Structure 1
Amino acid sequence: MPSIRSLVAATFVASLSFAASAQAQEVEDHSNLTVGVGAAVIPSYEGSDDYRVIPVPQLRGKVHDFAFWTRGPALFVDVIPNRSDDGIDVQLGPVVGARFDRTSRKRTKDDAVAALGKLDTAIEVGGFVGIGKTGVITSAYDNLSARVTITKDVAGAHDSMIVTPAIEYFTPLSIRSFVGLGVSADYVGKKYGRYYFDVTPDQAVASGLPAYDRAGDGSGFRKINLNLTGGYSLSGDIRRGWTLFALGGYSRMLGDYADSPVVAIAGSKNQWIGAVGVGYTF
């Protein structure tokens, strides 16, 4: 379900998760909390070639092996406790989030896209399922996971579904540092394309962009995402205390979504993100 903002936060939180999960191996009640805050440079809207800076606060933790985490304006709760001695982590639970793409003309930046009109905030509710394994390639502490998230807007904005498959890999380089790589894609329903990427004849007159009605013709993959994350402990141990994080990400808009005037004329198919932050693990 991630928008550009959610993609930044998802990558940032994924980096926080390594420190939190490593610490959990040493805590008897398997409870921990990681709090992070960062600043990210992101496109002003999905498909834009203008950029802006946003704050990225994050929270992740476990209570007696029941995990929860935020990814941008979304909350995930894993209802299956992680108590396997073989490093297997089965994930299943609800997710609820919000999408603020183009809900403010000022934040949209591009005058032509802003002239298309403000969009409503989408409230996306659904669930996720996944599986992870610790100790797979480089050491007993690296982690490979796969997850699929399915949500639907219940607020009457785009009123469509979003399916996001993702694969993530994280490995420690030492007791003080780690790196991670993530790949994901976003599959959306036809109403999503119609809401965010079509341009009606009236909007074409107001904005100067050509009319466009192909993005809402059917469901499809709207973009693919690749990100790289790194972290370095200021406390000497990535399992506790303060850690610095950095990330870089690239997204490619696909198909009829990339061909929309919102992207092809006013914006760009190539989307870049960057962020730095600091987190503290208790």
Structure 2
Amino acid sequence: MAIPTNLLRRMAALVLAGASAAAVATPLSLPGSLPNMAGLGVGSTTEFAGGKDRMLGVVPGVRYVTAGGRLLEWYGPYAQFNFGGLTGFQWGPAVGLRLGRNNVDDPVVAQVHEIDTTVEAGGYIGYEYLSPGRVPWRLRGGINVMTNAGIVYGGSRVTATGTFWMPLHQRIYAGMGLGATWVSGSFNRTYFGVTPTDSAASGLPVYSPGGGLEQFTGWLAMIYQFDKHWYGGAMVYAQRLAGDAAESPIVTQRGTRNQITYGIGLAYSWR
């Protein structure tokens, strides 16, 4: 079964990124100091983008600061390496595993072409601000560009995101984020299109979408520090399909444009 890559990534990333920010709000850490972290997230999400049948998933995550001050972030099927600073401008390469769509529960969508799991590569650029004031809130924004180089889809995906974290208590940190994704026509035709062969097999109308805005996203999360090393978190992540992706009969007739993921996680931090 296929789980949307961006949803999987959030399940791990919110726990680890939030816990890293939470450490700044405690007397155990110095402002601007980010601990190394590893953890697991478990949650419920849809089988594929635009679907309505749900499944459970478990994903790992790692946030590691090298001896040279570079940051490696690995969240589920996505990883990036930051050649910039831990705050300020950040940039570097990124790689991801985009899961396919096969063996889904929906009997109609199961008749639509299967999609292979594939590797994406690209890069990102962003900026992270840490408030020097008494309340160490964090603001991070960036743009991520990924491509599959035509192996499963052509063109690229461009995602813009913004996140905000703020301490509510010595051991409690709250976060929120917004995002939007633009995709190529080839991407939309692969993941949301219905070919004449698909139509004959499934009964869905033929649909050949173009590119453009694919989705809006938003999330809320809460992190709790149990002790010096252990953090727990909970989150809810909302995705609203837009543009040609939202008009696909896979979405309008068999699924929904509104996708919700929720989960909990546990992370261990060290210096």
TM-score by length of 2: 0.90
State the identity %.
27
Which residue of structure 2 aligns with residue 76 of structure 1? 80
Query: Could you tell me whether the CA contact under 8 Å between 2:22 and 2:223 is conserved in 1?
Result: no
Map 1:1-282 onto structure 2 (within 5 A): 2-19=5-22, 26=30, 32-64=35-67, 65-82=69-86, 88-102=87-101, 104-105=102-103, 108-135=104-131, 139-154=134-149, 156-213=151-208, 215=209, 217=210, 219-235=211-227, 240-282=228-270
Tell me the matched-pair count. Answer: 265
| SS in structure 1 at match of 2:128 | strand
C-alpha change, 1:170 and 1:253, in structure 2 (3 Å) is same
- Is the 8 Å Cα contact of residues 24 and 31 (structure 2) preserved in structure 1? no
- CA 1:126–1:258 in 2, change beyond 3 Å: closer, same or farther? same
Counterpart contact for 2:180–2:217, Cα < 8 Å: yes
The amino acid that maps onto 1:55 is V
| 1:20 Cα offset (Å) | 5.8
- The Cα shift of 1:139 comes to 4.2
Kept in 1, the 8 Å contact 2:12–2:39? The answer is: no
Query: Does the 8 Å CA contact 1:232/1:243 hold for their aligned counterparts?
Result: yes
Distance 1:250 1:186, change over 3 A: same
Distance in 2, Cα, partners of 1:233 & 1:32? 13
Counterparts of 1:176 and 1:226, CA distance in 2: 24
Gaps of 5+ in 1: 83-87
How many angstroms apart in 1 are the aligned matches of 2:134 and 2:223? Answer: 17
TM-score (norm 1): 0.87
Contact 1:20 1:61 in 2 (8 A): no
| CA distance in 1: counterparts of 2:105 and 2:136, whole angstroms | 44
Cα RMSD of the aligned pairs, angstroms, is 2.3
- The one-letter code matched in structure 1 to 2:264 is V
Q: Aligned equivalents of 2:105 and 2:24: distance in 1?
A: 39
Can you list the C-alpha shifts for 1:178-198, whole angstroms capped at 9, x where unaligned? 000010111101110111111
Distance 1:139 1:261, change over 3 A: farther
**Gapped runs of 5+ residues in structure 2?**
none
Q: Which residue of 2 aligns with 1:85?
A: none
